[in-house]
Amino acid sequence: MAKARIAPGSSRPPRPALPGAGSGGSGRVGLAGYFRGVWEELKKVVWPTRDELLRMTGIVIATVIIFAALVGGADYILSLGVKQAVTTQAASATAAPTAAAGATAVPTVVPTVAPTVSP
């Protein structure tokens, strides 16, 4: 927040004292004073009527459903794309070595030695 500029030579007007601040006010002390202040502020609140509350709740629920459908749809479409990319890449990776080797590949045979048993 920017500070207000004051012309040189003019004095700033004094700030009004906050209620309960300093030694001159009826300051709230402790937890009971805090809750008393909270109760006083809650009495000033203008609460919505039942019709307003139901209408606003309906709007919130509809908005949540719409955004859930949008995010779910985007997730489904992206997962299809990723799945397609992974299966295509995996298929090309397994097919490439056998196709590259072709007819020139010679199978290797590993000789096995029978164990000898001493009497």
Cβ(90)–Cβ(82) under 8 Å? no
- Cα angle 18, 23, 25 (rounded to 5 degrees) comes to 45
* Average pLDDT score, the chain: 79
pLDDT tier, 56 (very low <50, low <70, confident <90, very high otherwise): very high
DSSP assigned state of 104: G
Intra-chain end-to-end CA distance of the chain, in Å: 98
pLDDT at position 53: 97
**Entry pTM:** 0.45
Kindly state the average pLDDT of the residues 102-115. 64
The proportion of the chain whose per-residue pLDDT surpasses 70, expressed as a percent, equals 61
- The two tokens of residue 99 are 């196709």
Distance CA(47)–CA(45), nearest Å, equals 6
CB count within 10 Å of CB 53 equals 11
Cβ(61)–Cβ(55) under 8 Å? no
The proportion of the chain whose per-residue pLDDT surpasses 90, expressed as a percent, equals 44
Torsions phi, psi of 37, nearest 5? -65, -40
